[in-house]
Structure 1
Amino acid sequence: MIETFQLQTHQSGDQLVLVPEQFALPRTVEYISFGSKKLPCQLISISGLQNEISISSSLAEQLCIPFGGNISPYIHEKTLYLTPLIGIFTAGFTESLLRPIGDRSMLFANLIASNSSQNNYIFVFGTHCIDWESEMIYGYFFTSERWVRHTVPFPTVIYNRLPNRKTEKHQHVKSVKQRLQSEYQIPCFNPGFFNKWDVYLQLTQSSDVSHYLPKTVKFKNFDDIEQFLSDFQYIYMKPENGSLGSRVTNIRYAREEECYYCRYRENGTNRLKKFSTLESLINHVFKGHRLEDFIIQQGISLLRHKQKPLDFRVHANKNGNGIWEVTAIAAKVAGKGSTTTHLNNGGEVKMLDELFEKQIAEDFRTKLSNAALQISKVLDEKIKGHIGEIGFDLGIDQNGKVWLFEANSKPGRSIFSHPELRKIDSHMKHLFLQYATHLAKTNLTEVVLK
């Protein structure tokens, strides 16, 4: 649990900082910091203060602290860090203060509000908010149930919530993110969207997790597809940089009919079509798409519910000690005629206890948790940058074996529409703050060692 204090201001003493008697010895602190700002201070312990830290209004102004609020302070190398100033880096801003990040304004408001009792200094910003010359950012804070804009120092830690791959690949966005990390040494967690093929290659190198992987190849020519259809009952073709089940296609060769059946989504509708040749299938279903951007994956005969295949979404998050924990597990039942279990394709979220007997549900929960934790640790070691959360799409076949279909570095929240997962969603929001605080503290040691 993060220890929380109330930050207030007083009028006396330009450098004076008043803290509760039990907080720290005055001689151990010579500086005070908020975000990237750091100033000399004089720390005085006061016996009458209760969970309160009071700094001079002059110091507050120089540190560019926008308002009083809840903080989680810590001390390192004679410096009192008032609280991690957390910047959520994103895009898609509007001119409206009512909904400054458009349709995602409520998502960010809920995340910030969920942690306001421990840290009021969490804000949202984009590339256009940065003043490099003054090393300041105008950020959007959600406080007293409304959005307000304040100018603050560069943050202590950054949470990457860029909305899509196109934005993430934009050269200006990449250069801003790189500059904040390299020039200002601000740690950023959730480095970027995963590439399916890169993740597969990384995981195949680890004997601890490679057994979870369906056989997969990157498309080179039609022979790859024919070979997979010869080896397996059916296959999937997926864009290596796709999201939300976009353009995922299921192909099966019917030997008795000497034809190909393909399930795919077109214009918002699930389709099943029959083709006499593979070439005609490809020309129709993949028209306008580069096949070189797709991977081919072995089809798995999954567990079913009412004749519909199901897989599992498993969320893993880092906690306040930087250690992975499984936070949520839910089953997703495929929609009628859908190639995937995604909710936007007609899928349905179910708890394991709704689908299986108690002991079976518990066994599956253990298997899925173990797989998610093992894979999280391997990806954490192999992928550059700090990863704070991963959403896994896992399957269990008819023999009870667990398979990994996808790992998402910026997992969606659709499963939390289920009533039983709403409390877990709240817990995950708290883990965001706990891990950000952990990262802020450990970064101080790493910067000193450099």
Structure 2
Amino acid sequence: MNPKLRSVLFWIHLVCGLVVGLVVAVMSFTGAAIAFESQIVDWADHDARHAAPAAQGTPRLTLEEMIAKAKEAKPAAQPSGVTVSPEADSMVTVALGRGAAVYVHPYTGEVREQGAQGWRAFFHTMEELHRWLAASGDNRAVGKAITGVSNLAFLFLCISGLFLWWPRKWTLRSMRPTLWFRRGLKGKARDFNWHNVIGFWSLPVLVVLTASGAVISYRWASNLIFTLTGNEPPAAQGPMAAAPVPVPTPAPGTKPQPLDAQFAAVMKQSNAWESITLRLATPPAAGGQGGRGEGAPRGEGGARGEGGARAEGAPRGEGGARGEGRGGPGGAKGPQASAFTVREQERWPLFATNTVSVDPFTAQTLKTETYADFNSGRKLRTWLRFLHTGEALGWLGQLIAALASFGAVFLVYTGYALSWRRFVPRRRVQAPAASTVAAPPAVESETHAA
């Protein structure tokens, strides 16, 4: 690289890092902290989600009765989703608006609060910091703008850092100091070594995390994915955006089939399902879009709840199913299908789910959409969403994402430390007086002159 161009790039890299470094450190630390949120919450919440089976012969409550039990326990909340699991001892999850849910015993009607409240509060705080620096009210948009710009700046720092690191000579001797940690180093040499080594090994992951973060944060970046793959961008931002499925107009006075009948229709066509979630219709007065339920996904672009209730163990950010009822996204009118999100045990990609749209009046399946049915733009967009959290590659991907995020904290620290030493150099320590006395007069004068 041309020395002058390298110098200009260096100073841009340095100034950019100084400006956004603190925000990047907060986002990196919180990103590492929430890497295993779903596994930790599911583990800590196990006892609350499971109960001893009822006595033999006890009839199972209908889903409508379970929802009524949840409303009775939480009269101020609006049920927004229902999740069922195949295990005999699993409670039924009823999502209640934004960020809340209860567990209902399918035989006794017992209503339980969500467990792991301490963990949930911790992860909630980390998520708020990660998305918009824990800002509230009108300041939330400002916080989101700051994190979005800082994320883009960090992407630039990663790419520019690669050019600055690029060795003039590709020899093992010249590259060794930047490929692994060296013992015995202190001060500037140590910080320089750490900055280069951590940056080198975490660079590919950090580029993926920041690029996917931009796609999540900005509509233009999300649309660009569809444009580059030759597909029309969807009307709504997000990997799971899909048009609602219309329902043939029923005869006057026709009532919807019971929810159990609709669930049964979905179960028949699902292979070894792990969970099935139905997004319930939410009256406009209650918020329209519903909310995030038990373990529900962290939504797109910082929103908590792009979809309905998340099934146990489901990936964060996974869009919930739309319920039948008063129009759909974009203000669609007329009866809409009950859209079920089905998570099967054997699936690829790991975040894949099936959306089964059912006619609520006949319990007949109208449409089944799987990951294979997505166009290339939607597939790539979905991959980027779950690569951002590492969940696309399971626990190993989450671990790699967490380590890279934690490494970014040290990149910020060493970057600030190197900048401090550059702008605020340490004063030279004068030689002890005894040495001056012992030195010959000629040498002493040379020392002082230096």
State the TM-score, normalizing by the size of structure 2: 0.20
Q: Which one has a larger percent helix, Structure 1 or Structure 2?
A: 2
Q: Which one has a larger percent strand, Structure 1 or Structure 2?
A: 1
Greater relative contact order, per chain length (Cα 8 Å cut-off, separation 6+): 2
Larger radius of gyration: 2
